[in-house]
Amino acid sequence: MFDHPDFDHHEQVVFVADPAAGLRAIIAVHDTTLGPGLGGCRIRRYDSDDAALTDVLRLSRGMTFKAALAALPLGGGKSVILADAETEKTEAMMRAMGQAVERLGGRYIAAEDVGATPADMDAMAVETSHVSGLSTGVGDPAPWTAKGVFLCLNAVVEHILGRSDLKGLRVAVKGLGAVGGRLAMLLSEAGAELIVADLDPARAAQFAADTGATQVATSEIAHQAADVYAPCALGGEFDATTIPKLGAQIICGAANNQLAADADADRLSAAGHIYCPDYLVNAGGLISVSRTAIGMSDARAEAKLAALPETLKMLLDRTGPNGGHLAIAADAIVRERLAAARGGA
């Protein structure tokens, strides 16, 4: 465990088994310096237990960075349930997961993630109060996430391309789900020229028919000659093989963990791409969930959302007029904030 390549001084990693409920899960609490570790509960089958461990270690660390950069009083945590969300998930399983979360005494607050629904959070809430995203709460975080990405995209386009609006801007959007679909609609309404792709071709075709966007194959979307590429599907997309084929200078999208490894931020920067750190631009969902998880007022949450493009502008200012290595600048701010909170700076 301690030699695992993605182990980054996580405070606590809990392996959960409840055979009667069919539950096998891992909860990772990365860092609680700034507050309890809030992060989604992902429910999916993995190719191996190690793949699940890798996912939860990376995702929980990402939540620490996301909360710290958005200046939220939250730490980083995440959980994975190793089960098929369509065929194996049961209420008993979710209640057993709620018990496991309860045993952590509030160090981890669960929320929805891939494969989980508000009804699943309701089932967990029977056993623990350390869960958000219930069906009766603030609702789907996706519109907040999409809005945050949209605001950041406007900010980076203004800084790098000197454009004050998006009319005629070519944007390639991968994934038209809860976030990508809304982001694409906001972009379309702002006059952007869209190129879209989704694993579900009918979804992309419908969007193209509704908005006049151009549909391409999922394998081609990242290669499109565009001003901006917005990855809004799954993560791990940018590596030594994919980066040389990217068609857009600016990358600004919602997907979590877009880099296959931290070093790929260096590759993107060296290849001249302006990579807007995913954990900054997609923090809108976390901000939305904070309203129920830690009682943040709507007004404060709106202000936090509006601050995301301001933080991006600050990073752009720090890294020069042509946009430098934003990921390094963002990571440095997070480390400064954590060190200051620990009394080490």
Can you give the binding site for ligand NAI, defined by CB under 6 A?
141-142, 145, 174-180, 197-200, 203, 218, 232-235, 254-256, 282, 285
- Cβ 158 to ligand NAI shortest distance, Å: 23
Min CB(193)–ligand NAI separation in Å: 19
C-alpha 116/C-alpha 135 separation (Å) is: 12
DSSP, collapsed to helix, strand or coil, labels residue 194 as: strand
Rounded CA-CA distance 5/59 in Å is 14
At residue 217, φ and ψ (nearest 5 deg) are -70, 150
Instruction: Name which of 96 and 137 has its Cβ closer to ligand NAI.
Output: 137
**In 10 A of CB 309, how many CB atoms?**
24
Between CA 12 and CA 30 the distance in angstroms is: 7
Q: Minimum distance between the CB of residue 245 and ligand NAI, rounded to whole angstroms?
A: 15
Q: Which is nearer to ligand NAI, 160 or 234 (CB)?
A: 234
Which DSSP letter does residue 191 get? T
Closest separation in Å from C-beta 234 to ligand NAI: 5
Closer residue to ligand NAI (CB): 124 or 179: 179
Task: Tell me whether residue 123 or residue 283 sits nearer to ligand NAI (CB atom).
Answer: 283
SS3 string of 105-154?
Answer: CCCEEEEECCCCCHHHHHHHHCCCCCECCCCCCCCCCHHHHHHHHHHHHH
Residue nearest to ligand NAI according to CB distances in the complex: 177
Q: Please state the closest distance from residue 142 (CB atom) to ligand NAI, in A.
A: 4
Q: Which is nearer to ligand NAI, 178 or 261 (CB)?
A: 178
Bridge partners of 267, per DSSP, are none
Alpha-carbon distance 28 to 39, whole Å?
A: 10
Show which residues are catalytic.
Answer: 78
- Within 8 A by CB and 6+ apart from 61, the residues are 6, 8, 10, 30, 31, 76
